[in-house]
Amino acid sequence: MPKITRPKRSIEAGDMDITPMIDCTFLLLIFFLLTSTTTSKTAVSLPTAKHGAQAAEAESIIITVARGPNGEAQIFLADDAKPNHAAAGSPEDQETAIRKYLVEENAKVNKAGKQRNNVLIKADADLKQREMDRIEKAVARAEMEIQYLYVGISEKK
């Protein structure tokens, strides 16, 4: 029996040129990269507090914290931001001054004849969280019994 041979197909006939598809893919990729936004432009609306405890200032030792020009915390060991009440120096010096101030104020008695065991930190709203964390840790390290630690944030007007 004679051998039947099929004609060979050329390899080029079965190939498909995908260059235009790759070009379209890159054009779409560039389009989406240029038209997409990475930041949210809508303001986040925070809910108002429904539950909160009112801090009794007469029964609290008050520390005022303001934001300095470089974003660092300026600590005032009183209810005001007067320079004569400032805890200056390095962060370690400030923490030492906070602990010393708390112990001294805790030893005093208020008008009702009670020791003040509460601490109220009044802070600026735009103060960095790491600064507040550092101050709260310094308060916790004070050698006194703290009943309540209040943190009040003053809003910008």
Distance of CA 96 to the CA centre of its chain: 24
Look at 141 and 45; give whichever has higher pLDDT: 141
pLDDT at 53: 64
**pLDDT digits over 80-138, tens only?**
767 767 777 888 888 888 888 888 888 887 666 777 888 888 888 888 888 888 888 88
- Per-residue pLDDT band for 30 (boundaries 50, 70, 90) equals very high
113 φ/ψ sector (left φ>0, alpha ψ -120 to 50, else beta): left
**120 class by beta-carbon count within 10 Å (0-12 exposed, 13-18 middle, 19+ buried):** buried
CATH class of 57-154: alpha beta
105 φ/ψ sector (left φ>0, alpha ψ -120 to 50, else beta): alpha
Look at 85 and 78; give whichever has higher pLDDT: 78
Give the predicted TM-score (pTM) of the model.
0.60
Domain locations in the chain as residue ranges: 57-154
* Pairing outcome for strands 118-124 and 149-154: parallel
